[in-house]
Amino acid sequence: MTAPTPQRCLAAADQLLRGAGALGATAVTAGWWPRACACLIRIALEGGIDAYWQQVKPAVAACRQGRAKQLMLRGRLGPGADTARRVAFAWATLSAAAHHHCYELAPTAAELRRLHTEVAALLTHLQRPPGHARAGSAEI
């Protein structure tokens, strides 16, 4: 079995956000859809990071530690790279949103939509060929 692509994960998260999720009414009414949506978005981000490293440096893609790949991304893009900072923030926010804590509310649909949009933009940045950056930009 192969892992779902980042685009398929984002599409499934989008369906949950639109209320047409494949989990059924019981999961939605039970209140688990926000955490499931956060998990899907995070999996998409992690898949995009893996795809980036597979293209740029396959040895890093083979690393099992996702946090290490993020730290190496920061090193690869340089200290002024906004994309690496945005990836780290999105991943940390999605990780917190995906875990159930009895003292915290689940993320709202608006928060998840913002994260969905941010991860989609980050995936676009990470899919650019290495060395391809906008003029005057420190991004990928």
Please report whether residue 61 resides in a domain.
yes
pLDDT in tens, 33-87: 899 999 999 999 999 999 999 998 888 888 888 888 888 888 787 666 788 899 9
Please report whether residue 97 resides in a domain.
yes
| Tally of domains in the chain | 1
* CA torsion, ordered 91, 19, 114, 135, to nearest 10 deg: 90
Please report whether residue 40 resides in a domain.
yes
Residues in CB range of 132: below 8 A, 6 or more apart: 140
Task: For the chain, give the percent of residues with pLDDT over 90.
Answer: 41
Does residue 127 surpass a pLDDT of 70? yes
**Residues of the domain holding 43:** 6-127
pTM score: 0.81
Contact 24, 130 (CB under 8 A): no
Please report whether residue 108 resides in a domain.
yes
Please report whether residue 1 resides in a domain.
no
